[in-house]
């Protein structure tokens, strides 16, 4: 029994030594696996950093290209706007001339009317004592004044129609049957 116990003890000690050797081998393997995992993590991190840098570089290049294209479009729009502004300047000048044309015509008409009255009065008074010539000339002046008065009346009516059209947004309110 003692011999058997000694054999069991030797077998147990041998098994313990085997288990210790196996535990040391397992510990060495775990250490190696840990090192391999760290190396894999380091390589993966390096690859991720390179990929991020590459994507960031491509993105910045794309953004720069888009920004350049946007700047070019903006410059074209600014140039087109400048052309339109120049055209609008000429259009505004033409509109101003057209708006001032009736005023000029009215002022010139008044000037010519006053000059005509003065000249006509001088002409009517220069009859050298002939009564019938004076009466005839004053009748001609009266007819001219009547025609000028009708011209003023027609002009005022026309301007009133324009004002009514502008106030009514393009549609005159007369005649009454349109209401």
Confidence (pLDDT) at 51: 86
Q: Is residue 65 part of a domain?
A: yes
Cβ 172 vs Cβ 163: under 8 Å: no
Tens of pLDDT along 126-144?
A: 888 788 888 888 898 889 8
Mean pLDDT for each 10-residue chunk of the chain (179 residues)? 80 84 85 84 89 85 88 91 80 81 82 84 81 86 88 84 72 55
Q: Is residue 151 part of a domain?
A: no
Q: Is residue 24 part of a domain?
A: yes
Angstrom CA distances, 94 to 50, 87, 168, 169, stand at 65, 11, 24, 22
Question: For residues 33 and 144, what is the distance between their CA atoms, to the nearest angstrom?
Answer: 122
Question: For residues 60 and 144, what is the distance between their CA atoms, to the nearest angstrom?
Answer: 84
Confidence (pLDDT) at 150: 92
Whether the upstream peptide bond of residue 104 has omega within 30° of 0, thus cis, is: no
Confidence (pLDDT) at 12: 85
Give the number of domains in the chain: 1
Residue 126 token pair: 């220069």
Question: For residues 166 and 177, what is the distance between their CA atoms, to the nearest angstrom?
Answer: 20
Confidence (pLDDT) at 76: 92
Confidence (pLDDT) at 177: 52
Q: Is residue 138 part of a domain?
A: no
Q: Is residue 44 part of a domain?
A: yes
Q: What is the model's pTM?
A: 0.35
Confidence (pLDDT) at 169: 61
Confidence (pLDDT) at 168: 67
Confidence (pLDDT) at 25: 85
Q: How many residues belong to the chain? A: 179
Q: Is residue 43 part of a domain?
A: yes
Confidence (pLDDT) at 170: 56
Q: Is residue 173 part of a domain?
A: no
Give the CA count within 13 Å in the CB-facing half-sphere of 101.
7
Q: Is residue 85 part of a domain?
A: yes
Give the domain extent around 51: 17-99
């Amino acid at each position: 029994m003692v011999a058997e116990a000694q054999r069991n003890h030797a077998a147990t000690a041998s098994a313990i030594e085997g288990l210790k050797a196996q535990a040391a081998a397992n510990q060495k393997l775990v250490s190696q696996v840990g090192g391999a995992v760290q190396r894999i993590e380091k390589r993966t991190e390096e690859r991720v950093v390179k990929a991020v840098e590459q994507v960031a570089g491509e993105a910045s290049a794309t953004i720069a290209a888009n920004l350049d294209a946007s700047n070019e479009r903006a410059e074209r729009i600014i140039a087109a706007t400048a052309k339109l502004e120049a055209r609008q300047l000429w259009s505004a000048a033409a509109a101003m001339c057209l708006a001032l044309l009736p005023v000029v015509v009215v002022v010139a008409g008044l000037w010519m009317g006053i000059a005509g009255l003065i000249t006509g009065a001088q002409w009517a008074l220069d009859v050298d004592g002939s009564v019938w010539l004076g009466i005839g000339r004053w009748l001609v002046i009266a007819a001219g004044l009547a025609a000028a008065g009708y011209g003023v009346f027609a002009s005022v009516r026309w301007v009133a129609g324009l004002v009514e059209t502008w106030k009514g947004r393009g549609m005159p309110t007369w005649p009454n049957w349109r209401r």
